[in-house]
Structure 1
């Protein structure tokens, strides 16, 4: 009997020492899947560029918050972001996967914020089916969902307090229709987009006015004036003087969700992503090439999304303050009434260039994480019929994105150059905040 007890004890010890099976893991590609689905819904909803940045930001913040509660390498956002609240650890809901909870927090936040968010149900079901195939149990999935829901409930009030919801209560913006001011352009003559976006609370910068640009060159009919020099530059270099390469670059960075084309008697919207969506895609390319682990990739996506939003808040503040005329309108009035730009003019004032602004901010952030000589192939828009382009650095891509607006005939050169300057300044400010809060660039420990 004694020997039997000893044998049983040894057997139990051996069973206890048996190595536990490793929990299934998700990767940065799974984060990319969520953001790509968000992008598809934005295309369907014709989400404007500044608002797209806001949607990406809060979805990523929810996922990031889950990881900050579970991964000591992830710095909590309290004290890093403006007005970010204390986050309570969700109540014990059993065994869960932090990575899966982070993904479900992202989809759940997007579901609540995007107009087509309810359609995320189908995506979630497909995603969870794929999780079951790699070993996630129904119990883990249920507990992970419960954890995610508790985080979402704490993030949504923070999102609501950014004041975006108040915009609908502001008086309708009416174009001034004065000499030198912006006015809606063909073919659709859309109403101005987000004239009050500067009232939204930013994440890193103190306010929309924290990084004000120098004023734009003043409108003038005088053919010897600095403005007329800008005007003729767009007329010649953004029109008949375009090289094939410049045409290709302009088309590559168009990213105009409001673009239309005529089909018979109908005007049909073209499927195009926003500039922020393009840079979110570039972020994914970089994370996959560098084999960044799940937590760090989610951090990078989150910082990029918030940087894009802050950059839009700053840029839109200047746009509706200076309210400068678009090249298309000015050229038709002063030079050639039949002139058309290569690209369709977006529905908001010219100064400064939003592409220049947000591309420079994002490139500065990505350079901090990945380095200044990070080469990559940008195939983000291959699904929309655009050939991929190769870049030796993020800054090279940002400079090309900026100049694409000049060659496309929709921005003056000072609006581009000063957009780059302010965008870079915001990016550097964000990088300084990351450094101050010990949010570090990549190293070997961040890889899969």
Structure 2
């Protein structure tokens, strides 16, 4: 049985008293980031079952980690600054009682659980994990004076921060968007229209109105416009269509593997005659949250460093989706399959299933580059193996750095037949700019390394 012996100190900073913290003889208790990794992995598992859209999934990752960061940060105030005032309208979350003692692991765990219970449908899938985590920590306090009080107080603090976060994000625009009427997308030459095989309505057309976390507005970063629509052979638009078409006709085994590896379609529809069924995959954001863990493992980070990594990636995913969706539902650009089926080859099918929203810019390109920029600035450049898609029957892929992975994710959309080159290139460029802006704007470390 592990026993904890405690001495107490009150930290001071230029801002005054920060928080009462514990100096433990067993200093390893915050060195492990396993609880943090477990919660982000569990969210990914539940999200795949729930079937949210890619953009909404990013929102869930961001909010859960913002709450966990805020709940645990006072215990690491010598190294980390609060998010208060750094995220739009996140101004006054609960602060722990500076005269009392907390276990910051429990604060974070309770925050994760409370947010998960609020935003995910099958949140009960996390109940057993939560119970096991709390019981393991409770055991450490069995012979500590007032140990039960420390445990209950820590859980209460995490829950109170999460409840504040829930009240804060009630006004983010999501509830209002859920109540909007059916989206009336523009019709005409060059505009997006529903695509096979589902011919579904446009997905998340109002996500562009969501409140950003760090960006000033959804249109703060603007891409070059899509290539001007033109049905004339040898025109620039026709040429980019032919690039997709010819690539698909000559796609090799490596390109197929790349396309499948980065497909990340949360709900993939399969049609066999009149029978239709869906399969679930990890989302684009879920894939990059998995790559955040790769960096954490490489650097052997502690608990707070892991929360920092997931928080930064979650925020970058969310704001990058808002920015990208603002462009998608401004230009309403046509998808390759629509043009090719009408003017080039009526029987052609892309290798990947076309998602139900406009083409320009590529969402995966945007969020991948944003995440890669954050992770590169946080962990530096290093080679790694990505096993995220092994659970879906795909092989491990190797990358020299995060931006190489983001570039491959971008070009995969051309191999898959679902995006044009400019949409991918501009998404990649803007994503990197967004990630850099978020990194520069959020000042979490004291001082930043």
Q: Is the 8 A contact 1:80 1:437 kept in 2?
A: no
Q: Within 1, Cα distance between the matches of 2:258 and 2:221?
A: 28
Normalized per residue, the structure richer in helix is 1
In the aligned structure 1, how far is the partner of 2:374 from the partner of 2:399? 16
What is the correspondence of 1:2-41 to structure 2 with a 5 Å cutoff? 22=26, 25=29, 27-41=32-46
Unmatched 5+ residue regions in structure 2? 1-6, 8-22
Question: Match of 2:118?
Answer: 112
2:355 to 346, 356, 364: 346
Alpha-carbon distance, 1:132 to partner: 4.8
| CA shift digits 1:121-141 (9 cap, x unpaired) | 3332233344456x3558244
2:75 to 70, 79, 85: 70
Q: How many residues align?
A: 421
| Aligned-residue CA RMSD (Å) | 2.1
- CA–CA distance in structure 2, aligned partners of residues 70 and 148 of structure 1: 12
Is residue 80 of structure 1 aligned with residue 90 of structure 2?
Answer: no
* 1:334 aligned residue: 343
CA contact (8 A) 2:81 2:444 kept: no
- Runs of 4+ deviating beyond 3 Å: 90-96, 129-133, 262-265, 434-439
Structure 1 unpaired stretches of 5+: 1-15, 442-448
Q: Are 1:361 and 1:427, in contact at CA under 8 Å, matched by a contact in 2?
A: yes
Counterpart-to-counterpart distance in 2, 1:116 and 1:428? 34
1:98-109 equivalences in 2 (<5 Å): 98-109=104-115
How far apart, in 2, do the equivalents of 1:264 and 1:25 lie? 56
Q: Is the CA contact 1:90–1:151 (under 8 Å) kept in the aligned structure 2?
A: no
- Match of 1:270, SS state, is strand
Higher strand share: 2
> C-alpha distance in 1, partners of 2:102/2:436?
38
Would the aligned equivalents of 1:29 and 1:288 in 2 still touch at CA under 8 Å? Answer: no
Of 211, 231, 243, which residue of structure 1 is paired with 2:241? Answer: 231
Q: What is the match of residue 4 of structure 1?
A: none
1:262 positional shift? 3.2
1:266 to 1:128, Cα distance in 2 relative to 1, 3 A: farther
> TM-score normalised to the size of structure 1?
0.89
Distance 1:231 1:131 in 2: 58
**Separation of aligned partners in 2, 1:299 and 1:277:** 16
Deviation at 1:159, TM superposition (A): 1.3
**Equivalent position of 1:144 in the other structure:** 154
The 1-side partners of 2:296 and 2:60 are apart by: 20
Contact 1:28 1:288 in 2 (8 A): no
Q: 1:83 to 1:431 in 2, by over 3 A?
A: same
Contact 1:105 1:152 (C-alpha < 8 Å) held by counterparts = yes
Report the Cα distance in structure 2 between the residues aligned to 1:178 and 1:243, rounded to whole angstroms: 35
Aligned residue among 308, 313, 330 for 1:321: 330
**Shift in Å at residue 20 of structure 1?**
6.9
Deviation per CA, 1:278-332: give whole Å up to 9, x if none.
Answer: 0000001110121011111111110110001000000000001000111011100
Alignment match, 1:364: 373
Q: Which has the larger radius of gyration?
A: 1
8 Å contact kept, 1:112–1:118:
no
Task: Output aligned runs, 1:227-306, within 5 Å.
Answer: 227-237=237-247, 239-262=248-271, 265-306=274-315
* 8 Å CA contact retained: 2:54, 2:283: yes
Looking at structure 2, the residues matched to 229 and 336 of structure 1 have their Cα atoms a distance apart, in angstroms, of: 15
What's 2:52 paired with? Answer: 47
Q: In the alignment, is the contact (CA less than 8 A) between 1:185 and 1:347 conserved in 2?
A: yes
Counterpart of 1:395? 403
2-structure distance, mates of 1:141, 1:398: 42
- Post-superposition Cα deviations, 1:47-74, rounded to whole Å, max 9, x if no partner, equal 1111011000110011100122221111
Secondary structure, in 3 states, of the residue corresponding to 2:280? coil
For 2:29, what is the secondary structure of its paired residue? coil
Supply the distance in 1 between the matched residues of 2:96 and 2:114 (Cα, whole angstroms): 16
Is residue 93–residue 147 contact of structure 1 (8 Å, CA) maintained in 2?
Answer: no
- The worse-fitting range, judged by mean Cα deviation, of 349-358 and 119-128 is 119-128
Verify the 8 A CA contact 2:109 2:130 in the aligned structure 1: no
Deviations 1:328-387 (A, max 9, x none): 11100110000000000011110000011011111111110111x211111112112111
Distance, in Å, in 1 between the alignment partners of 2:364 and 2:272 is 28
